[in-house]
Amino acid sequence: MENQNCYHCGNTLGKKIKYIDDKRFCCNGCKTVYEIFSTNGMFAYYNLETTPGAPPSEINGKFEYLNNQDIVSKLLDFNENDISIITLFIHHIHCSSCIWVLENLNKLIPAIRSSQVDFSKKKVSITYKNNETSLKDIVTMLSSIGYEPTISLDDYTREKTEKKDYSILYKLGIAGFAFGNVMFLSFPEYFEISEYWLEKYKHLFRGLMFIFSLPVVFYAAGDYFKSAFKGLRNRILNIDVPIALGILVLFLRSTIEILLDLGSGFFDSLTGLVFFLLVGKFFQQKTYSFLSFERDYKSYFPIAVTRLTRTSNPNQTIEENIQLYTIKKGDTLLIRHGELIPVDCILAKGTAAIDYSFVTGESETLSKNIGDKLYAGGKQSDGAIEVEVLKTVQQSYLTKLWSKDAFTKQQKNQYVTLIDITSKYFTISILGIALVSTIFWLIYDSAKALNVFTAVLIIACPCALALARPFALGNIIRIFGRNQFYIKNADVIEELTKIDTIIFDKTGTITTTKKSNISYQGNPLSHWEEKILKNSLRNSSHPLSRKLYDLLADQDIMTADDYEEIVGKGIEAHYNGHHIKIGSPQYTGADLKKKESDTAVHIQTNNSYKGFYRFKNEYRSGMKDLFHNLQQDYKLSVLSGDNDGEKSYLKSILPTKVNLLFNHKPDQKLEHIKSLQDNSAKVLMIGDGLNDAGALAQSNVGIVVSDNTNTFSPACDAILQSSKMTLLPQFLKLSKETIRIIKSSIVLSFLYNGIGLYFAVTGQLKPVIAAILMPLSSISIVIYVTLLTNWSARRIKSPSEE
Amino acid sequence: MSVIYILIAASIFVAIIFFIAFLISIKRGQYDDVCTPAIRMLFEDELVNTSENPKRISKNNQL
């Protein structure tokens, strides 16, 4: 079996096998990469991993813009004297061979001083001598060995000086350091043995504990004070209010105790509390550095385009690469094969076959004639074209979508979490208990009143409560991540449980973009007809021709006597007296009584109509079950930008209750979700492309389905591997289960608080009791939620994996 | 018993040294990428086959 695959990239070998050193390759590209590596002594590339490579992509003219020094200098991280540093994002980084080869790039270009890979971010940072090589050479070389970097408009506009936020690590370090040392210093006094040496040194010990607690209170716990203050100013009693109050009271009372020599204080509990809280915070911050949840159109758009300037000589034009934002109305641009159209424009020259799947979700390419309007976001897939610019980048139809409300307002930060609601009542009742018990002690034994008041606030500090959520949700995020469901942050899980409406995009979400189902209808084709059909298609570069060509059985090669391709119509060819026409219904004389909204290629031979090949989207497997599973608990709809050609088919496979909506443009999708939300629906949007970006942003939770999580996806709350889509009901169930676990752990933490309150209210709270109770409750809550979430995750996953 | 002053001072001094080392390691970005170094450390002599550089370096080291 292994021999059937290309030695370089692992793809199945086709007809044209290339041999070198008794290795087999699927194409010339792979063979060339192998030759580059083997002649440069980098053979180990193939030994570290089998078939690590990717076929190199065509680059003709693609990186010409890197000759423009203004663009290059914007991309560089560092550029001084003769040394430059560039960080490039490369999709293909996936194995140890990739790391090895990218860190030995100086074998291929000696001017590269060093290169370092960040595997989890899929980035390589290259230091090179800029007087000996150029960025363009490096990028071209990388592309030629199958590691084409992705350079988008996003790289150009992003601030290079963004600083990494290490504050959580610093805070955790300080709290942990102080906690350890304070524990060690407070230990002798736990047993209240009145020994001579203890009496003598206790002031030293207490003083040191005080010093250690200072950075903990004033730096490590700073966020809790800020958040509590913010909450109070907005009249919200969030969870940080009782925490901040607890920390403050702990610190003040302990300080007064050691100053007046009343006792040893609660510095151990104080530092431990902050440490555990920060651990919880840290645990909840699961980030997927190779994913981005915040992309907009900038990540898709190129940095530069080729502008054509006519000179006085009408046959001569000057090509120059200009930055995207400098495009002006009236400019003439050259769009090469496979390039994205960055602005709204008019086709001026060439044959345009535009793939708008990015923008509309419409899966098939559209042919355009000279003078037709082209919208930004389309991908040209039929040779090079020239276009005249109508609008600048920011004013184009697609990019305007990002100025909608859904993208500007930060609505998603306003999640009201379960803990926030609980903490409101919690804080009020704690303050109540503290007041009542203080009043009681004021009457009964006024000396103890202040003692009891502070003790209640200390013991009521909801450490366990505050830890339950981050640990439960943090653990679930990891479990989801292992099942290739990547969540942006913990709030998304809580929001998932409130969903009552699920909206699916059609193209690319419930259908796959990879293969289409091609079926033939009409009079059967004879052998020679198939033969000339295949041979005619060979010459055509139209995407439908290519797809059909790949499907048809191999035929002997024939040369056409006469071949003509008419843009927007089809192909006509003559072979030994036989005549064939392939293309649109009108062109081939098809009988159009029945309106076909599917994409089809019609065939006519010797002036008689034969039939057509219909291109249907392939639906992902398991969609039927998925919809049937979900319809019991959720309102479902399919919202597509596509035409309604498959409406009857969809109706036949999906449950009757599913609402089917077609012909929705990106902004209409957004409005549709908004109108649902106005009727107090909580909407989960599942989409895939840029055309869903508005809907994803507007929805309560937006999930992007992606065939390959390494490729770009629009801004969203979660990214789901398409093969795991059938697990969606389980994911939703598990989210609900997690919230139930958190609720039960809240009950458990109240139990601990009850025990603590008994000691506090009766005036018996000693540092040792606090020091035992606090870590005990925290650790047991953490264990409780971790075990339970793992257990319910296993139980939910098992039926689907069988 | 005043030796305890020295002992405590010494212990805290050592602890602070490690603590500062930890802070420096964060600042220098040692926690930025916790994945690649684990793979990188397994690479060694893959380039030896055709290039002379590694050999020359090892000779210099022996001298």
Best probe of the B interface among A122, A177, A184, by most B CBs < 10 A, is A177
Q: How much is the average pLDDT of A11-32?
A: 76
**What is the CB-side half-sphere exposure of residue A168 using CA atoms within 13 A?**
14
- Tell me which H or E stretch contains B52: none
CB–CB of B51 and A41 under 8 A? Answer: yes
**Can you give the pLDDT at residue B1?**
61
User: pLDDT tens digits for A112-162?
Assistant: 888 888 888 888 889 998 888 888 888 888 888 888 888 877 777 665 545
pLDDT score for B17: 95
The residue of B11, B16, B35 whose CB has the most chain A CBs within 10 angstroms, and thus the best one to mutate to test that interface, is: B35
Residues of chain B in contact with residue A201, where contact means CB-CB under 8 angstroms, are 4
Angle between helices A446-459 and A767-801 (to 10 degrees): 20
Secondary structure of residue A719 in the 3-state scheme: strand
From CA A361, how far away is CA A642, in angstroms rounded? 6
Lowest-confidence pick of A70-79, A156-165, A415-424, A677-686? A156-165
Mean pLDDT of A7-29: 76
Residue in chain B closest to A211 (alpha carbons) equals: B12
- Cβ separation B22–A103 shorter than 8 A: no
Is residue A293 within 8 Å of residue A709, measured between CB atoms? no
Residue A510 near residue A623 (C-beta atoms within 8 A): yes
CB contact set of A291 (below 8 Å; sequence gap of 6+)? A486, A709, A713, A719
Residues of B in contact with A101 (CB under 8 A): none
Q: By C-alpha distance, which of A63, A59, A58 is closest to A321?
A: A63
- Look at the block and give the residue holding tokens 């009782």: A242
Let me know: does A496 contact A716? Beta carbons within 8 Å: no
Q: Of A80-89, A516-525, A528-537, A685-694, which gets the smallest average pLDDT?
A: A516-525
User: What are the tokens at A541?
Assistant: 């570069």
Q: Give the pLDDT of residue B63.
A: 38
For A31, residues 6+ apart whose C-beta sits below 8 A from its C-beta are A8, A18, A20, A25
Q: How confident is the model at residue A242 (pLDDT cuts 50, 70, 90)?
A: confident
Q: Name the minimum distance, in Å, from the CA of A204 to any CA of chain B.
A: 9
- In this complex, do B39 and A119 lie within 8 Å of one another by their Cβ atoms? yes
* Structure-token pair, residue B59: 């000779």
Exposure class string for A321-349: b at 16+ Cβ within 10 A, else e: bbbbeebeeebbbbbbbebbbbbbbebee
**In this complex, do B33 and A173 lie within 8 Å of one another by their Cβ atoms?**
no
Q: How big, in percent rounded to 5, are the helix, strand and coil portions of chain A?
A: 50, 20, 30
Using beta carbons and an 8 Å cutoff, which residues of A are at the interface with B? 40-44, 47-48, 96, 99-100, 103-104, 107, 116-121, 164, 166, 169-170, 173, 177, 180-181, 197, 200-201, 204, 208
CA A669 to CA A664: how far, in whole Å? 6
**H or E element, residue A118:** strand A112-118
State how far the Cα of A557 lies from the Cα of A352, in Å rounded to an integer: 28
Closest chain A residue to the Cα of B46, Cα to Cα:
A44
Inspect the interface and report whether the beta carbons of B33 and A104 lie closer than 8 Å: no
Of A41, A117, A118, the CB nearest to B47: A41
Q: Which helix (H) or strand (E) holds B7?
A: helix B3-27
> CB neighbours (10 Å) of residue A709?
17
Out of A40, A104, A170, the one facing B23 most closely (by C-beta) is A170
CB contact under 8 A, B46 and A107: no
- Residue A133's nearest CA partner among A66, A78, A71 is A66
Distance separating alpha carbons of residues A144 and A55, to the nearest angstrom: 9
Q: Which residue of chain A has the CA closest to B18?
A: A177
Tokens of A345: 């424009």
Question: Are the beta carbons of A650 and A619 closer than 8 angstroms?
Answer: no
Give SS3 for A602. Answer: strand
Residues of B in contact with A166 (CB under 8 A): 26-27, 31
Question: Min CA distance, A170 vs chain B (Å)?
Answer: 7
Please tell me the predicted confidence (pLDDT) of residue A408: 56
Contact (CB<8Å) A43/B49: yes
Strand extents, DSSP E, A325-399: 332-335, 345-349, 352-355, 366-368, 373-374, 379-380, 385-389
Q: Return the structure tokens found at A556.
A: 């002997």
Taking the CA atoms of residue A399, residue A403, residue A407 and residue A411 in that order, the dihedral angle to the nearest 10 degrees is -170
Chain B closest-CA separation from residue A41 CA (Å): 5
Among A374-378, A422-426, A605-609, B51-55, which is the least confidently predicted range?
A: B51-55
Contacts with B1 from chain A: Cβ below 8 Å: 197, 200
**Residues of chain B contacting residue A42, judged by C-beta atoms under 8 Å apart:** 46-47
pTM of the model: 0.75
Which residue bears the tokens 């036949």? A652
Distance from CA of B10 to the nearest CA of A (A): 13
CB-based contact B15 A177, cutoff 8 Å = yes
Q: How many CB atoms lie within 10 A of CB A117?
A: 25
pLDDT digits (tens, 9 = 90+) for A510-553: 777 555 567 777 788 887 788 888 888 777 766 677 677 777 76
Residue A407: predicted pLDDT: 63
Chain-chain contact of B46 with A117 (C-beta, under 8 angstroms): no
The answer to whether residue B53 scores a pLDDT higher than 70 is no
- B interface with A, Cβ–Cβ below 8 Å: 1, 4-5, 8, 12, 15, 19, 22-23, 26-27, 29, 31-36, 39-40, 42-43, 46-47, 49-51
Taking only the tens place, the pLDDT of each residue in A632-641 is 888 888 888 7
- For A794, residues 6+ apart whose C-beta sits below 8 A from its C-beta are none
- Residues from chain A that touch B31, judged by Cβ atoms under 8 A, are 166, 169
Pairwise CB contact (< 8 Å): B46 & A170:
no
| Residue scoring higher pLDDT (A60 or A109) | A109
B-chain CB neighbours of A44 within 8 Å are 46-47, 49
ipTM for the predicted complex comes to 0.75
Backbone phi, then psi, for A558, in 5-degree steps? -125, 150
- Give residue A2's pLDDT: 44
Whether A682 contacts A499, CB under 8 Å: yes
The stretch A159-173 carries a mean pLDDT of 75
Least-confidence region, from A82-96, A474-488, A503-517 = A503-517
| Rounded distance between C-alpha atoms, residue A612 and residue A545, angstroms | 13
Q: How far is A174 from chain B (nearest CA, A)?
A: 8
Nearest to A406 by CA among A121, A59, A699, A679: A699
- pLDDT(A256) > 60: yes
Distance from C-alpha of A685 to C-alpha of A681, rounded to nearest angstrom: 12
d(CA A250, CA A619): 61
Average pLDDT, chain A: 80
Q: Which of A47, A99, A170 sits opposite B36 (nearest CB)?
A: A99
Report chain A residues whose CB lies below 8 A from the CB of B29.
164
Q: Which residues of A735-767 are buried (b: 16+ CB within 10 A; e: fewer)?
A: bbbbbebbeebbebbbebbeebbebbbebebeb
Which residues from chain A sit within 8 angstroms of residue B34, using beta carbons? 120
User: A687 vs chain B: nearest CA distance in angstroms?
Assistant: 31
**Span A366-373, average pLDDT:** 80
- Nearest chain B Cα distance for residue A107, angstroms: 9
Minimum-distance CB partner of B47 among A104, A169, A180 = A104
Give the span between the Cα atoms of A421 and A778, in whole angstroms: 20
Position with higher pLDDT, A605 vs A287: A605
- Nearest CB to A166; choose among B1, B12, B26: B26
Q: How many CB atoms lie under 10 A from the CB of residue A134?
A: 17
